[in-house]
Amino acid sequence: MGIAAVKIKIMPTSPDVDLEELKSKSLELLEKNEAKNPTITQEPIAFGLEALILFFAWDESKDLDSFEEELRSIENVSSVEVIDMRRAFG
């Protein structure tokens, strides 16, 4: 198995959610699950709502579905969606 480049979109429950806290909890889970080179950006959606975009390297031999479930269990997360996943080379 190799390494996958993964991009996940996390939607908060409302525009009032503290995105810094959401970023912090997401980073904790990324570190716990041994994701490499994580970056988190914010993407405006509509009416003040912003999504978090997580981009990281993931060992393909590990289960990504269980990681998604961990992200969904974070308080104030409405949805989690893998928006891109491809094998990384180099």
Domain ranges for the chain: 3-87
For the stretch 2-55, pLDDT in tens is: 899 999 999 999 999 999 999 999 999 999 999 999 999 999 999 999 999 999
Contact 56, 6 (CB under 8 A): yes
Q: Which pLDDT score, from 0 to 100, does residue 88 have?
A: 80
Query: Domain spanning 3-87 has what CATH number?
Result: 3.30.70.60
The torsion region of residue 34 among left (phi > 0), alpha (psi -120 to 50) and beta comes to: left
* pLDDT of amino acid 90: 59
CA distance 78 to 14: 8
Q: What is the pLDDT of residue 89?
A: 73
Q: What is the pTM of this model?
A: 0.91
pLDDT score for 50: 96
Q: Please give the pLDDT value at position 3.
A: 93
